[in-house]
Amino acid sequence: MTIDWKKEVEARKDDLISDLEALLRVKSEREDDKVTPDAPFGPGPRDALKKMLSFGERDGFVVKNVDNYAGHIEFGSGEETLGIFGHMDVVPAGDGWDSDPYEPVIKDNKIYARGSSDDKGPSMAAYYGMKIIKELGLPLSKKVRFVVGSDEESGWGDMDYYFQHEEKPDFGFSPDAEFPIINGEKGNISLLAHFKTTNDGTYTLNSFKSGLRPNMVPGSATAVVELPAESDFADFEAALTAFTDEHPVTATLSKSGKTVTIELVGKSAHGAHPSAGINAGTFLALFLDHFAFAGGAKNFLHVAGAYMHEDFDGTKLGVAYRDEKMGELTMNASLFNFEKNATDASINMNFRYPQGTTAEKLEAGLAETIGAYDVTTTREPHHMLPHYVPVDDPLVATLLSVYEDHTGQKGYEQIIGGGTFGRLLERGVAYGAMFPGFTDTMHQANEFMDLDDLFNSAVIFADAIYRLAK
């Protein structure tokens, strides 16, 4: 049977866009201060999950909501289950948008909104692939289950809970990356560097805040500093102006007596690609490290400014490592927190590491290089080991074949630093929805998805699901 998948997607383009716009309007940022038994990650992720599941109910699929942690949309029958994994939660919108991040705007054949490319747009494209197969009544020999998550951008607590109650699919993919395929993902761990808050220098660091999530390059940073005297303000202001003239950041400065507040702006980016951003936290630390702070405050600023600043591969921290297949380790200094009267200050270092090194080796390297600054490290609980599915696995081979048939381009394996739900399964990969040469706006202001990419990915997903499950 020959099916014109492109024609089928064309017939449903308006409905696809309408459903996607409804999903994008849900502000599905995790909000821990609004968690309830009914909303385990806050109301936004819950509402987006329920919205996505409602499409499955409308279209006649078997739908299950697992206590608002996650859910699934399913059809077909058979002994094996093909899993498709998407997520409805998004990273915080942050600043710098040209439009409301939760009111989708279509401009220049692109749809702009938080979540448009990560991961609501790709998820909707994959869902419509399932929908086409169901509506055409095509025969399947396997179950097809779209698993919908709501905590992918944070701790994956959604999947931990879901798989306590539901069996894992046998194989599958996550539409949360790029084509031709992602069949390998680096390990992912966050290590916290802990500092004392002693603060007896000529200058006093009252507070230092930067970052929104471990998987985001901080786009802004704020510090409150007490100067030795109010008369030192002019020199401090001149030094800040000279610094911003020399570096790719902007800053604003305000004062109240001897106390000054510095707000510095860089550029956010995905934490898997720290060199694509301008880390406002390390730049602000680099600036302040030139002043006469002391104790824990000095150590905090010096380690951030001298060791973490633009240390994208961990060389200055003494943990650099490269694997021939998986490439280089990357490090993103992501969350900075210093309060003068607190018992502890910390900086979150998010590492994406290849096979061949380990969390233990990272901790040992950090102890050797920054331990002298009275630094201790602890691990965050969410730790993912390196993951790889061989290119000759039938799953990978089939998905590459589908990609080649629809694009005319040769498929090839890829290994990334990002972590996707594809790694939930031993035979799991990430597949689409971005095409080679795409502009990466994930985790950035003015996130968008190209509409041609959206529709073309739906074509590929439909054919891929059918070939894997027919």
Residues known to be catalytic: 89, 152
* CB contact set of 337 (below 8 Å; sequence gap of 6+): 208, 209, 345, 346, 347
Distance CA 222, CA 445 (A): 19
Query: Alpha-carbon distance 92 to 435, whole Å?
Result: 25
326 alpha carbon, distance to own chain's centre = 19
Residues in Cβ contact with 36 at an 8 Å cutoff, skipping those fewer than 6 apart: none
Query: Which 3 state secondary structure label does DSSP give 245?
Result: helix
Whether the CB-CB separation of 126 and 421 falls below 8 Å is answered with: no
> Helices in 179-326 by DSSP H: which ranges?
233-246, 280-288, 295-302
For every residue of 356-374, DSSP letters joined together read T--HHHHHHHHHHHHGGGS
CA distance 323 to 134: 43
| DSSP structure class, residue 390 | -
